[in-house]
């Protein structure tokens, strides 16, 4: 059997706390299904590494990581030590761009046993995917400051959208929608206010939709779309958005299903020219780091998405069932604080491992 080579990057804060449970759950399922997973851990892409080396990554990071099939990533950021834009642009955002992980795929699902902050919603009511553009758009890093230190001081930053970049994420989203029973795609826009890039986004949605006649498409401006996430999350099936809009929606969506602590994120290069990266949606969470109370489900579920990505569908579905089974029990001794429980990263991580 071939072996999957996985680069493990725990990063900072709670990233380092949840990672061990992600690996243990993956090892458990790999054993059950006779899959060979080969983990190699790296200490770069962390603020501690930055403090020692003055950079988030070693010079040869790309040659090193490109040899792996996938990257299993915790979280980066210690804003008291390294400014967030430095640490993130020096690691996660660099990986996404240089490994052309142009799809960011994030499930949004109300799981049994998880307390939903919205009234009258039960498991099954909320179950959709967010497809986020992951390499361009509002995250451009182009621009600068002029008239520094004077009253005329002005900063400019450019949003850049390319036909290639927009079309490929839309095609991915349309094709995902086409394979789902409801075949419904919602596009996030703001073409009434953001007058150049967003009308272009709408135009591309319209053009690409012609190739997917079975998919029902609608679009909402991002402001009212966030309102609909709260007021009628059941209407969504697949939601596609630009880098920034996808970012916002994929925190808001999981919050509407109880906690962003359980949400995973696949940073995917569908062409497989470079490794894809799987991570929890929550960040390094400096406020709760070091306490052992972080929710490990996002990390574990990210591992599940990784197996899915490699076509290990049975193993992936078992892993998701195990997560669901443990959450459904609603055992407050096991569940973490963000889910209303009294448990720890360890209690919840081990419960899922055992279930697998």
Ligand X SMILES: CC(C)[C@H](C(=O)O)[C@@H](O)C(=O)O
- In the complex, which residues of this chain contact ligand X (CB under 6 A)? 88, 93, 192-193, 223, 247, 281, 283
Q: Is 354 helix (H, G, I), strand (E, B) or coil?
A: helix
Q: Is 108 helix (H, G, I), strand (E, B) or coil?
A: strand
Q: Is 262 helix (H, G, I), strand (E, B) or coil?
A: helix
Residue 240 binds which entry of ligand X, a second copy, none, CB below 5-8 Å type-dependent = none
Nearest to 74 by CA among 279, 213, 255, 220: 279
- Closest approach, Cβ 75 to ligand X, in A, equals 8
Cβ atoms of residues 305 and 72 within 8 Å? no
Residue 207 sits in the site that holds a second copy (CB under 8 A): no
Residue 197 sits in the site that holds a second copy (CB under 8 A): yes
**Among residues 51, 231, 321, 332, the one that binds a second copy under rule CB under 8 A:** 231
Alpha carbon 343 to chain centroid distance?
A: 24
Nearest residue (beta carbon) to ligand X: 193
Q: Indicate the angle between helix axes 297-309 and 313-329, nearest 10 degrees.
A: 160
Cα 98 to Cα 207: distance, rounded to the nearest angstrom: 28
**Among residues 3, 31, 43, 164, the one that binds a second copy under rule CB under 8 A:** 164
Beta bridge partner(s), residue 143 = 157
Which two three-digit tokens encode residue 4? 């999957």
Residue 227 sits in the site that holds a second copy (CB under 8 A): yes
Residue closer to ligand X (CB basis): 242 or 347 = 242
**Among residues 28, 45, 47, 88, the one that binds a second copy under rule CB under 8 A:** 88
Residue closer to ligand X (CB basis): 105 or 110 = 105
Residue closer to a second copy (CB basis): 63 or 120 = 120
- Closest approach, Cβ 99 to ligand X, in A, equals 14
Cα 20 to Cα 28: distance, rounded to the nearest angstrom: 12
**Among residues 27, 40, 64, 191, the one that binds a second copy under rule CB under 8 A:** 191
Site for a second copy in 264-283 (CB under 8 A): 283
DSSP element (H, E) containing 169: helix 163-178
Which two three-digit tokens encode residue 199? 């009308």
- Closest approach, Cβ 151 to a second copy, in A, equals 6
Determine the interface stretch with a second copy among 60-68, 248-256, 271-279, 329-337 (rule: CB under 8 A): 248-256
- Closest approach, Cβ 232 to ligand X, in A, equals 19
Cα 145 to Cα 69: distance, rounded to the nearest angstrom: 40
């Amino acid at each position: 059997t071939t072996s999957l080579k996985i680069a493990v990057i725990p990063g900072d804060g709670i990233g380092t706390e949840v990672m061990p449970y992600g690996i243990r759950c993956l090892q458990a399922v790999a054993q059950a299904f006779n899959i060979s997973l080969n983990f190699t851990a790296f200490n770069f892409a962390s603020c501690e590494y930055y403090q020692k080396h003055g950079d988030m990554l070693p010079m040869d990071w790309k040659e090193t990581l490109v040899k792996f099939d996938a990257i299993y990533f915790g979280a980066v950021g210690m804003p008291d030590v390294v400014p967030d834009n430095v640490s993130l642009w020096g690691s996660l955002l660099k990986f996404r761009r240089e490994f052309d992980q142009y799809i960011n795929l994030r499930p949004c699902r109300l799981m049994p046993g998880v307390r939903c902050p919205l009234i009258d919603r039960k498991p099954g009511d909320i179950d959709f995917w967010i497809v986020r553009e992951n390499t361009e758009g509002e995250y451009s890093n182009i621009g600068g400051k002029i008239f520094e230190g004077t009253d005329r001081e002005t900063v400019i930053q450019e949003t850049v959208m390319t036909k290639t970049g927009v079309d490929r994420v839309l095609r991915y989203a349309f094709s995902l929608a086409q394979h789902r029973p409801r075949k419904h795609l919602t596009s996030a826009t703001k073409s009434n206010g953001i007058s150049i890039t967003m009308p272009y986004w709408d135009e591309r949605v319209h053009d690409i939709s012609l190739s997917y006649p079975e998919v029902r498409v609608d679009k909402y401006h991002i402001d009212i779309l966030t309102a609909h996430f709260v007021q009628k999350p059941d209407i969504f099936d697949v939601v596609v958005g630009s880098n920034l809009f996808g970012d916002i929606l994929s925190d808001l969506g999981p919050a509407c299903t109880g906690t962003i602590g359980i949400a995973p994120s696949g940073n995917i290069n569908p062409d497989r020219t470079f490794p894809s990266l799987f991570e929890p949606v929550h960040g390094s969470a400096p406020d709760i780091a070091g306490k052992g109370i972080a929710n490990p489900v996002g990390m574990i579920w990210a591992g599940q998405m990784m197996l899915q990505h490699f076509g290990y569908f049975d193993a992936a579905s078992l892993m998701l069932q195990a997560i669901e089974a443990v959450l459904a029990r609603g055992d407050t001794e096991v569940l973490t604080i963000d889910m209303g429980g009294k448990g720890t990263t360890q209690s919840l991580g081990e419960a899922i491992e055992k279930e697998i």
